Amino acid sequence: MIDQVRGKKKRFGPGLAVALDVTTLSEAEEIVTRLPADEVIFKVGKQLFVAQGPETVAMILRHGGRCLLDLKFFDIPHTVEKAVGEATRLGVWGMTLHALGGGEMLAAARRAADAMAGEMGRKPPVLFAVTIPTSMDAATLKEIGITTPLEVSVLHLADLALKAGADGIVASPLEAAVLRKALGNDFLIMTPGIRLAPQPGDDQKRIATPLEAVSAGADLLVMGRSILGTDDPAATAREVLTQLGAPRS
């Protein structure tokens, strides 16, 4: 899986994060108890966290799972610093922030995570910086006034985030190989937009299969509907882990 040592990022894996894209705590708990909690990471996004709050994280921890809090913090540095500190207090394994927040915001997040983790006597959470969301493509960027080529924007934001103290980058699997080539191996790459097969009405535009993403250099693959929409999500998750050759606990 993926681990972290203070001052040095260690690449393990590839690993699998399952998106808990549901609204109720009972739905989320059913998923957590059906999947191999010691082998996957559970991603909690805005939908579930807004509906159920910190109890979601507590529930995952009770079942021996790890929580990736995917709230994509993006605000003034002071606000993000306080939010990251509280998220660290909850005991999350990792969390996401927007690289577009800038170096000062990202550095404030790093300080808060390290300080709170030290106070709590635990390892700091893994901080992943979002570059360009996988729902966006060149046309979408142009619509909001960003004319820099998408690949250039992703690389610039990734470099900024890593220099500010982020442990990893959230990027499309289509950009993972570019990031590895340009920035090396001393950081983690988390890739959303992973699909076992194309899905009708997909809202992700830059997608790939698990093996394609790993071949490009990804460490942590985020999957939701491709696993939860099957008849046996646990079997599907284990099949993906087997395909990837992920270490078994």
Catalytic residue among 9, 10, 46, 72: 72
Instruction: Say which residues have a Cβ less than 8 Å from residue 188's Cβ, sequence separation at least 6.
Output: 2, 9, 11, 126, 128, 167, 168, 169, 219, 220
C-alpha to C-alpha distance for 212 and 4, rounded to whole angstroms: 25
Is there a contact between 233 and 227 (Cβ–Cβ < 8 Å)?
yes
- 72 is a catalytic site residue: yes
Q: What's the rounded Cα separation, in Å, for the pair 137 and 132?
A: 9
* Catalytic residue positions, numbered: 72
